[in-house]
Structure 1
């Protein structure tokens, strides 16, 4: 991961800060040698823990001015943390105060920066409470109407893929994104992208076929998938991986995930999370193409003339409204997994569940589509992911189970084939005491899987040297854990899991140290949404195409049926995002 190091310089004198602290002089003390200044001049450093690792700040102050702030957040995800850090530091320098808020979607990284700057300024002798009262005064945004060939709602994986295709074909594109960072739920994709008959599988000697991929996904979706949409996804999956790799994604590792007959989930070479990598390469390509992205801007209405989409009405974060006139509109605003009211309206049985979704996944695109008479498809199908952190909702990749992890309950026993589909594994976990289970991994897996190493570093895993320690960690009897692990070793050795029928037995887990992750199911993916055809046209309630309106990604329904196979979300957003961009371009050229 590229090292992020931001250097910011203040260009104006801090009149606001001087006024905020009044006229009284400070009492000179050994700790505060500057009797009249706000700060003790100098350079101060502090460090806090971010999302992925340490966030270090270096703050330089004069007597009355925060002059410079450097942030070293090398382990944070660039696409998520970088814009958040930029904004926070800009606000601190502009206001000369600490009355700044964390950036939604990058809360952990934001809070780490704010806390570290606060610690550094405290060491500089500042009155922290007074600084917290000073907020940046932002002028109301001046907006004017815009025009483009294509306007895209949402800067997640689907929206950015559509934009890359359209802009590469020479069309002018504007993306409207309501969040302060790009990526949406794609930022949180931890597994990989499913694809069949790829050159990477061939190199690895993996036999797979598009028909097998289709059959696995149709079966996993309880045969409620739209067959035509599914066929388009699987047949374009290999080219989707090639396309991402041409952009620099480096998806060269193939492993197994739940519901797959053969290894077909493609990940970065070190097994790290796929989402941030995809977001970064797409964002970089959009910068090269000069595509305009309007951040913290919400689409409030799709414009129509004589039944055809002609653009959007949008509002900035301060409420300023404007129009974007366009000949084509692509909805790629994601699902509604973070909108508990919407989830519960379709699935009352999911009341109270945590979510793995980012804060912006509230179903806006679905509502915008409905307002122009769009039909819905599979809207009641909502997936829960089996392995999320019970406290934070943080999701642990399905790749851990594919790479060899097993699940134990609080009694220290296995209770399922860990590689069954997500809905089945989730249901089996919920049947256990407290609806809790424990993923068991070890040092061998840690060395082979960067995602697991990351979970351990972030403190999600409990390290256990022996099986006795494992038993203590999960509250089970040592004899029960020992017996379970012995049976599993026998299964791996013999190649037959007589208890639960797991067919891919890749790790014996016979040696420690062990790393234990406590898990429970959480709301993860909404399979239903706007009804589309194979060219991504949005279909209305009368079964007709809405001219000029397209949709791709989690905002749509039909692709996954009643249950999504792990690794297929990335395939969905890239395949159909690209098709949306291509279709819009082709129809504009007619």
Structure 2
């Protein structure tokens, strides 16, 4: 079968008027465009870069969802209430409860919607801070992000929804009481103003914007980031220019496991730990519950005052999380036929590592981690050679703050009033995650609120 190549639309086909224009080609933007078009809107997507997909391309572990047919097929009985509670606890109780309530009650339908669009997330794994396995992923156990992006692109192509790349939005247009369109800039046509009855901002976060980091979290400026180059906060600036409010801008998530020994920062997905990997210090000893929330794992790594930490896994874990094959291919993984050989390559204390693995395997067999209280992702021990190690350090991963929206994905002013015709979804928004995002919730957010934005835009434009 020929490799799918998404057919971008020639800029000469950009019309003067659309019902709905989406800013950004990540999962939130593509989901919204599909949903709106299916409800009858004339839709276009504009993307400032030539590479499509944004940070969605880099998502690894899975998409959290509850009460799904996938969970039942895996013998998991879950509840929306438990999902809500875990997410609220993970966010330190500071999550926007209206957004969280809508989110927690609409993930099942999001999985069904994707399935109906031939995007089949029929396997499942665990992420830190979740009391059940909720991270839905492809059946081959590969990374969710690239699979989701490719699947959505295929749907865009099938439905002939135009996507104009290398087309930057430089301003939103508005009348007294509503958004009326936007002005874009493209090298071939220069600037052009497009009339639109509704606009969605789905332009991602700001982890690559040094000025914004300096303003909101200067203490993080020495850290690298897992984000793609386009994560520069453009959508937030567009929203504030027309009166939109921002929320939680100082709340920035550090991912505990990023491989940074090359010029490129590689996210080592939480699914590695979700399938049974452990973390050790230089002495070869565990030091944390690997499946607690990201902020706590990051703090434990920082408290070591070492050069990060090391993930330890085996062939069984590799087979259960196939993104590890990519990590191996790009040279991020050390391997050994024995634990002693692995310890030598990873510069770890061999005797301690052997003891640590023996203790962990005993805890795994008993189903009780008395040392650090790990309660999830204990189905698999570290027993099958070859053994693997990945050196990791924390890196900026996700900006929890952003444009303030309500549960209808409508952009709000500082006084809480709605900016009619303007919507936002995905990492560009703030409030849902509180102080700390649970792994797997961001991809879920893109689909849940992307669909909501598409539905609400159709309701506004068509009077549904």
TM-score (norm 1): 0.75
Find the counterpart in structure 1 of residue 39 from structure 2. Answer: 169
Find the counterpart in structure 1 of residue 379 from structure 2. Answer: 506
Q: 2:100 aligns with which of 214, 230, 233?
A: 230
In the alignment, structure 1 residue 400 sits paired with structure 2 residue 275: no
Contact 1:145 1:322 in 2 (8 A): no
Find the counterpart in structure 1 of residue 202 from structure 2. Answer: 332
Q: Compared with structure 1, are the counterparts of its residues 321 and 145 closer, same or farther at alpha carbon in structure 2 (3 Å cutoff)?
A: farther
1:91-490 paired onto structure 2 within 5 Å: 146-317=16-187, 320-391=190-261, 392-490=264-362
Contact 1:412 1:474 in 2 (8 A): no
Of residues 238-247 and 471-480 in structure 1, the stretch that sits farther from structure 2 once superposed is 471-480
Contact 1:143 1:322 in 2 (8 A): no
Q: 2:412 aligns with which of 517, 523, 539?
A: 539
In the alignment, structure 1 residue 495 sits paired with structure 2 residue 367: yes
Residues in 1 aligned to 2:324 and 2:192: alpha-carbon distance in whole angstroms: 46
How far is the alpha carbon of 1:189 from its aligned partner?
A: 0.7
Q: 2:455 aligns with which of 570, 579, 582?
A: 582
Contact 1:461 1:517 in 2 (8 A): yes
Contact 1:143 1:321 in 2 (8 A): no
Residues 323-342 of structure 1: per-residue CA shift (max 9 Å, x gap): 11011111111111121221
Q: Compared with structure 1, are the counterparts of its residues 482 and 144 closer, same or farther at alpha carbon in structure 2 (3 Å cutoff)?
A: closer
Q: SS at 1:215's partner residue?
A: helix
After superposition, the CA RMSD in angstroms is 1.8
How far is the alpha carbon of 1:452 from its aligned partner?
A: 1.6
How far is the alpha carbon of 1:508 from its aligned partner?
A: 1.8
Residues in 1 aligned to 2:320 and 2:348: alpha-carbon distance in whole angstroms: 28
Q: Compared with structure 1, are the counterparts of its residues 270 and 589 closer, same or farther at alpha carbon in structure 2 (3 Å cutoff)?
A: same
Residues in 2 aligned to 1:385 and 1:444: alpha-carbon distance in whole angstroms: 24
Residues 486-515 of structure 1: per-residue CA shift (max 9 Å, x gap): 221221122221111111322221342101
How far is the alpha carbon of 1:144 from its aligned partner?
A: 7.4
Contact 2:61 2:125 in 1 (8 A): no
Q: SS at 1:155's partner residue?
A: coil
Residues 117-139 of structure 1: per-residue CA shift (max 9 Å, x gap): xxxxxxxxxxxxxxxxxxxxxxx
How far is the alpha carbon of 1:470 from its aligned partner?
A: 2.2
Find the counterpart in structure 2 of residue 521 from structure 1. Answer: 394
Structure with more relative contact order (C-alpha pairs < 8 Å, separation 6 or more): 2
Residues in 1 aligned to 2:189 and 2:219: alpha-carbon distance in whole angstroms: 36
How far is the alpha carbon of 1:283 from its aligned partner?
A: 1.1
How far is the alpha carbon of 1:3 from its aligned partner?
A: 5.0
Q: Compared with structure 1, are the counterparts of its residues 567 and 144 closer, same or farther at alpha carbon in structure 2 (3 Å cutoff)?
A: closer
Residues 372-420 of structure 1: per-residue CA shift (max 9 Å, x gap): 1111111111101111112321101101101100001112111100000
Residues in 2 aligned to 1:254 and 1:309: alpha-carbon distance in whole angstroms: 41
How far is the alpha carbon of 1:145 from its aligned partner?
A: 6.2
Residues in 1 aligned to 2:273 and 2:312: alpha-carbon distance in whole angstroms: 9
Residues in 2 aligned to 1:3 and 1:467: alpha-carbon distance in whole angstroms: 42
Q: Which structure 1 residue ranges, 4+ long, deviate > 6 Å from structure 2?
A: 141-145
Residues 317-369 of structure 1: per-residue CA shift (max 9 Å, x gap): 36710011011111111111121221231111101111111111100000000
Contact 2:62 2:125 in 1 (8 A): no
Gaps of 5+ in 2: none
How far is the alpha carbon of 1:457 from its aligned partner?
A: 2.6
Question: How many aligned positions are there?
Answer: 459
How far is the alpha carbon of 1:473 from its aligned partner?
A: 2.1
Contact 2:66 2:78 in 1 (8 A): yes
How far is the alpha carbon of 1:282 from its aligned partner?
A: 1.1
Of residues 549-558 and 247-256 in structure 1, the stretch that sits farther from structure 2 once superposed is 247-256
